[in-house]
Structure 1
Amino acid sequence: MKKTLWALVVLCLLAAPFIGQAETPQDEWRQQIVRWTEQLAAGDDRFNAFPKADRRWQSVGTNRDDWVVTFEQSNRPIGYLIVGEEERALRLLEYGLGAHPLFTEQPFVPLPSDTKTPFYAGLHSVWITDDGLIDAKSGEHYPQTAKRPSNFKPIDPIYERAALTAVQLSRYADNTQPWIKPEGKITDEPDLIEHLDKGLNLSYVAHLFEGEILAPFATRGYHRWGKSIYVELEDDGSRFLPVKHALQWGVFYP
Structure 2
Amino acid sequence: MTKRVVITRLLCTLLCALALLFPAHAFAQTEELSWDQLFRTQIGEWKNTIVAQDPQFGEWKNAEMEVQTLGANQHQWLISLSLGNKQVGYMVVGEVASVEKQKKFVLLEYGLGEYILFDDAFAPREVAAEPVYDGFASHWLVTLPQAKQVVDAKTGERYLSSTRPDDSIMCTLQEQDLATAGQKLLASRIIRPDETDPFDNISWFTPLVLSETEVPPSQLTWDELWQRKSDQMTLAVRLYHAEVLSPYSIASLHLWNDQKSYIGVWDDGLRFLPYAYANKVGKIHIQ
TM-score computed with the length of structure 2 as normaliser: 0.73
- Work out the CA distance in 1 between the residues paired with 2:43 and 2:222: 32
Q: Which residue does the alignment assign to 1:253?
A: 285
- Gap regions ≥5 residues in structure 1: 13-23
- Work out the CA distance in 1 between the residues paired with 2:162 and 2:72: 20
- Gap regions ≥5 residues in structure 2: 1-27, 98-102, 211-215
Matched ranges for 1:119-158 at <5 A: 119-131=132-144, 132-152=149-169, 153-155=171-173, 156-158=177-179
The verdict on how the C-alpha distance between 1:158 and 1:41 changes in structure 2, with shifts beyond 3 A counting, is same
The AA in structure 2 aligned to 1:239 is R
Say which SS state the counterpart of residue 49 (structure 1) adopts. helix
The verdict on how the C-alpha distance between 1:112 and 1:47 changes in structure 2, with shifts beyond 3 A counting, is same
Encode CA deviations 1:180-235: one digit per residue, 9 max, x unaligned. Answer: 34499864242774366414221111111121111111110210112111000111
* Structure with greater helix share of residues: 2
- Work out the CA distance in 1 between the residues paired with 2:42 and 2:191: 29
The AA in structure 2 aligned to 1:238 is L
The AA in structure 2 aligned to 1:95 is Y
* Shift in Å, 1:150: 4.1
- Work out the CA distance in 1 between the residues paired with 2:123 and 2:107: 28
* Shift in Å, 1:54: 1.4
Q: Is the 8 A contact 1:37 1:47 kept in 2?
A: no
More moved, 168-177 vs 117-126: 168-177
The AA in structure 1 aligned to 2:204 is W
Match of 1:83 among 66, 77, 93: 93
Q: Which residue does the alignment assign to 1:92?
A: 107
Q: Which residue does the alignment assign to 2:4?
A: none
- Work out the CA distance in 1 between the residues paired with 2:72 and 2:167: 10
* Shift in Å, 1:247: 1.4
The verdict on how the C-alpha distance between 1:179 and 1:199 changes in structure 2, with shifts beyond 3 A counting, is closer
Q: Is the 8 A contact 1:169 1:199 kept in 2?
A: no
Q: Which residue does the alignment assign to 2:6?
A: none
TM-score computed with the length of structure 1 as normaliser: 0.82
Matched ranges for 1:5-44 at <5 A: 24-44=34-54
Q: Is the 8 A contact 1:232 1:238 kept in 2?
A: yes
- Work out the CA distance in 1 between the residues paired with 2:67 and 2:61: 15
Q: Which residue does the alignment assign to 1:170?
A: 191
